[in-house]
Structure 1
Amino acid sequence: MATNKLNASYTLKVDQIFEKKGWEMEPEKDLKISLYNKYIDRLRRIPDDTRNLFLELTERFDRIELKEITSLFFDAYENIDSKILNDAKKIYFLPLVQPEISSNSKSNGKNNLVKAWFWIKNIFSNNSVDRPKNKSGENILAIVENAEYRGLNNSSKFIFPQSFSKFKSVFNKKTDLLILVDDFVGTGDTADDVIQHFFKSSKFNSDNTIILSLVSLKQGIESIFKKRNVKVYQAAIKERAISDFYDTKKEIEENISKVKQMEIELKCEPELSLGYKESQALISIMNKSPNNTLPVFWHETKNIPAPFPRRKIYNK
C-alpha cells in the first residue's frame, strides 16, 4: 500500500476541517498517536480522484468525545415521550447487551462470541455485575451514574441495577420501565437480538421496554420498531452518508464507486464494504468507530494506523 504525494491545497483543506471541528492538530507527534498525521497519511494512501470525496465525507463525520457523552445522553433522554416516564413507577437502566445465555449453549473454543457469553454466565453465578466491561452501553451508564442527573424529568425514579438476576426478580412489568442504553444503534440487528432475548421473559414487552441511544441510524430505528414494536430515542438521527445524501442516482453511484476504490487501495475487508450491511455511517464515539462507519475511516493494520479506528488490537 503505497503513499502518494499530497499537494498543498489538500493540506490546507485538512487544516480548515480540523480547525472547524476543533480536532487536535499535533503534526509534531508520532503517526500512531496523532489524529492529524493519521488523517494526512490516510489521504495520501487513497487515489487522487477520490480525495475530494474523502474530505467532503470528513466534513460530515461526527467524532463524539468523552466530554460530550453526558449532554448527549440527557438530550436523548429528554426526547422520550413524557407520558412514558410519568407513568412509570420505577425507571431501570441497563446496557443494550444480552444479560444471559441459554443453558444449552456450548463453547468449542473457536467461537469468541460464545466464549464471551459463557464468561458472562460465570459472572451471574457469582452474583457479580452482569455486564461485559467493554460494552459501550456499560461505559455510557458508568458516566451517567457519576453525573449530576437530578435535573432530568423523573430522575427520582432512576435505578441502575448491578445484578441482572436481582433486577429481574423485582421488576414490575405493569408499572416499571426498562431503558436499554447504547452509544449507537446502526442497522438494529444487535438491538433486535437483545430485545428478542429480553422478550423471552414474560416480564418484558414493548409496553415497558424502550431503547436510548446517543446516535441512531434511521434504518435501525425503523427496523427495531417494525420487528419488535420497540421505540428508540436518541439525541441525533443519521442517514446513510451517500445513498441518502446525494440527489441523483448518478451522483450516488459515482460516489459509491469512489469509496470502493478507496477500500480496494486500503485493502479493507470486502464483507464490510460501505460499513456493516452497507449502512454508510460517519461516526466515531469515544475514540472507537462502529463497524457501520465507512471502513476507509477505521480500517488499519499493525503498521498503518487509521484516523478513527475500531479497536486497539493490531493483528494484521
Structure 2
Amino acid sequence: MDNFEKEDWTKALTVAEKITYVSEEEIYAQYKHLLENLFDSIRKEDKIFLLPSKVQDITTGSGKSSQLMTYYIKKIIENLPDEQSNRIIFLSNSRNGQKFKNDLKKNAVLVIFDDYIGSGHQIYNFINKVIFKLHKQYYSELDSTYILSLYISENGESYLNLKLPNWNIISQPRKRAFSRRGSVFGYEKKMKVIREFCHKYGEQFFIWDINKDGVKKKVSLSLGYKNSQELISFCYRTPNNTLPIIWSSANNWHPLFPRFANDIISEAKDYRKESAFLLHKAKLVFKNNYALITGIIKEDDGKLNSYITQNDVLLLCVMRLKKNGANLASICQKLDIRLFDYDELIKDGYNRGLFTIDGNFTDIGTIEYNHINSLKNKYDYDLYWKHNFENPNNVFYIPKKFNGRT
C-alpha cells in the first residue's frame, strides 16, 4: 500500500480485489475441462500431438511456464481412460516432429498449448515462424490444428481468428479490465476513475522494443503490454499483460506478485540462507545425527565430522514450504529450481526416510522438521527489532555484535 499516496489507498484496494488469482487446483480443473472439449471436437481415431508454445528447447530455469504446463497436463492425462491417454503424444519441442513425421498426417491433430494468450502475437509468431517455416517439413500435411490455452484475451482471440483462420481455439475468453461494457469495475463513470488511477501510477513502467527498422523505442506498460488491461496472476508467474502496478519491481516499486527472475532469485537466496542458518543451529544445539545433515568429512586426527551440504539446505527449504502449504509451482519459483530438481529432492528425502514416495512427510520427517523449526527465534527477525526499538523500554536487549564481531 505504501506504493500509493494515502488518498489513493481505497482505489488500490479496489484493484487488488478484482485480481484473478489462478491456483494450482484451478489450473488442473481448467485444463481438464479444455481437454474434454478437445476430445469432443475431434475424431475418435485421431492421434493428438501436444506441443508447448514459446519454446524450442527447455534445459534450464524454473520460470518457463511451458515446462509447468506440460507437467500439469501430463498429470491430468495420467488419470484419463486408456482409450484417451493412449492417443496422446507429447512433443517437448517443435524439432521433435522429426521423430513422428510419418504420423503427423491427416489422421493427426496438432495442439499448441499455453497458459495465457494476451495480444496473440507471440503464439502467432511461434506457429508462423517455427512450426510452418523452420520445421515446415514435419507439419505441412496436417489438416487439424488447435490452440489450447487456459485463458485468452478478447483481442488475442480476434487477432488469431484473423491471422490463423484454419486454427481452432479452445480457451476461456477474458474481457479487458476497463471495457466500456462489462468492466469488473462497474459502470463507465466509476470504471474511468480506477482506469485513471492505474494509468497515473503505471506511467512510470515501460519496456524497450525494437521495431522492423531496428530502432529502439520505449513502449508504455501503463495498462499492461499492448494495453491489455489484464488482471490475472498465476500461482507461478504474472503475465506482463496484467497491470504493471501489480507485478513490476522497477523504480523501487513493491509488487504484489513479482514477475521477473531477479526478484525471485533474490528471494530464493534469502530463503536458502535462512534455512542454512537453521541447520547450522540444529548441528550446534542438538549435536545429533540428523537425516537432514548428510555431509561427512574426515579430520586430520581420523575423526569423522558432519557438515551441511547444499542439498541438505534445499531439502529443508522444500520441507518448510510444503509445511506452509506451498504448491509445486510456488516451491520451484521460490527456490529458483526446475521441476526435475524438485523431483530429485523428493527422491532424496524419500531415501533419507523424511518423505513417502509421493512426497508426504513421514513420522521421522515430521519429528526432524519440528526439532529444527523450534530453533526459529523471534529475536532473529529484523521486524522484531524494528517494532520494539520504537519503544526501547519494552525490549530485552540482546546485542547482535560484540567488539565488532557478530
TM-score of Structure 1 vs Structure 2, range by shorter chain: 0.5 to 0.7
Q: What residue number does 2:53 align with?
A: 96
Displacement, 1:223?
A: 1.0
In the alignment, structure 1 residue 146 sits paired with structure 2 residue 75: yes
- 196, 199, 207: which one pairs with 2:132? 199
Identical amino acids, percent of aligned pairs: 25
Q: What residue number does 2:335 align with?
A: none
Q: 249-258 or 237-246, which moves further after superposition?
A: 249-258
- Matching residue's letter, 1:58: A
- Matching residue's letter, 1:262: Y
Q: What residue number does 1:74 align with?
A: 32
In the alignment, structure 1 residue 308 sits paired with structure 2 residue 260: no
**How many Å separate the matches in 2 of 1:66 and 1:284?**
12
The residue correspondences of 1:264-303 to structure 2 (distance < 5 A) are 264=203, 267-269=204-206, 271-301=220-250
Q: 152-161 or 237-246, which moves further after superposition?
A: 152-161
Q: What residue number does 1:155 align with?
A: 85
Secondary structure of 2:239's counterpart equals: coil
Aligned length: 242
Q: TM-score, normalised by structure 1?
A: 0.66
Secondary structure of 2:2's counterpart equals: helix
Aligned in 2, Cα 1:216/1:163: closer, same or farther, shift over 3 Å? closer
- Matching residue's letter, 2:243: L
The residue correspondences of 1:213-232 to structure 2 (distance < 5 A) are 213-229=149-165, 230-232=167-169
Secondary structure of 1:199's counterpart equals: helix
- Matching residue's letter, 2:200: Q
**How many Å separate the matches in 1 of 2:140 and 2:12?**
44
RMSD: 3.1
- Matching residue's letter, 1:45: N
**How many Å separate the matches in 2 of 1:89 and 1:131?**
33
Q: 72-81 or 147-156, which moves further after superposition?
A: 147-156
Aligned in 2, Cα 1:263/1:97: closer, same or farther, shift over 3 Å? closer
**How many Å separate the matches in 2 of 1:174 and 1:48?**
61
- Matching residue's letter, 2:132: F
CA offsets 1:125-156 (integer angstroms, 9 cap, x no match): xxxx6898743122111222234331498333
Q: TM-score, normalised by structure 2?
A: 0.53
Q: What residue number does 2:391 align with?
A: none
Q: What residue number does 2:173 align with?
A: 237
Higher Cα Rg: structure 1 or 2? Answer: 2
Q: 190-199 or 53-62, which moves further after superposition?
A: 53-62
Q: What residue number does 1:59 align with?
A: 17
In the alignment, structure 1 residue 254 sits paired with structure 2 residue 198: no
- Matching residue's letter, 1:313: N
Q: What residue number does 1:5 align with?
A: none
* Alignment gaps of 5+ in structure 2: 207-218, 266-406
Whether contact under 8 Å (1:131, 1:138) holds in the other structure is: no
**How many Å separate the matches in 1 of 2:186 and 2:23?**
31
The residue correspondences of 1:15-26 to structure 2 (distance < 5 A) are none
**How many Å separate the matches in 2 of 1:310 and 1:73?**
23
In the alignment, structure 1 residue 187 sits paired with structure 2 residue 119: yes
Whether contact under 8 Å (2:104, 2:141) holds in the other structure is: no
Displacement, 1:205?
A: 7.7
Displacement, 1:190?
A: 0.6
Q: 72-81 or 281-290, which moves further after superposition?
A: 72-81
**How many Å separate the matches in 1 of 2:29 and 2:68?**
15
CA offsets 1:76-133 (integer angstroms, 9 cap, x no match): 222337232x25521011101253xxxxxxxxxxxxxxxxxxxx5xxxxxxxx68987
Aligned in 2, Cα 1:95/1:131: closer, same or farther, shift over 3 Å? farther
Q: What residue number does 1:3 align with?
A: none
* Alignment gaps of 5+ in structure 1: 1-42, 100-119, 121-128
**How many Å separate the matches in 1 of 2:114 and 2:143?**
19
